[in-house]
Amino acid sequence: MIIIGSDHAGFSLKESIKKHLEAIPMKVADVGCFDTNSVHYPEVADLLVKRILSGEYHRGIMICGTGIGMSITANRHKGIRATLCHDYLTAKMSREHNNSNLLVMGGRIIGIETALNVVDVWLSTEFQGGRHQQRLDLIEKFSS
Ligand code: RB5
């Protein structure tokens, strides 16, 4: 079970990822957007983040044009570890070291095959804990 969302610039990639996950099969909740009409990415990110913070979903995927705007928006919230991933290594490390609970990608940046590989790696890689948990605790400590 996962929650997904995008703005207009990430719409097409969101649809492909949704299809990919549903074929596993995995249940996917979609917070929009639902077509390529222009929307404001912070509004979509806010909808999705709130449903993770409430505990309804543990992990989510978000896509905007570059992935930057949605990453900035999501990481304003304590407890959200949104990681902008572009390839196998960033996907793997974002889980092993950063315990990413929100995968962000740039729909105008990444190709479809790489994006689906990023999703698969991110979903199947475990957090390593230990010294990495200490570092995540420091992030929380330094957050205002
Ligand atoms: C929309 O044009 C674009 O600004 C948005 O998708 C994203 O890239 C923002 O960071």
34-45: per-residue pLDDT in tens?
999 999 999 999
CA of 137 to the centre of ligand 1 (A): 30
Domain ranges for the chain: 2-142
Question: Of ligand 1's atoms, which has the minimum distance to the CA of residue 64?
Answer: 6
Q: Is 33 a catalytic residue?
A: no
pTM of the model: 0.98
Three state DSSP letters for 25-47? CCCEEECCCCCCCCCCHHHHHHH
| Ranges of residues in the chain whose predicted pLDDT is under 70 | none
Both tokens assigned to 57: 């979903």
Which CATH number is associated with domain 2-142? 3.40.1400.10
The pLDDT tens digits for 64-80 are 999 999 999 999 999 99
Nearest CA to ligand 1 atom 6: 65
The letter for the amino acid at 92 is K
Helix 112-124 to helix 11-22 angle (10° resolution) is 50
For position 144, what pLDDT does the model report?
81
Q: Is 64 a catalytic residue?
A: yes
CA–CA distance, 82 with 98 (Å, rounded to integer): 9
Residue 100 Cβ contacting ligand 1 at under 6 Å: no
CA–CA distance, 37 with 39 (Å, rounded to integer): 6
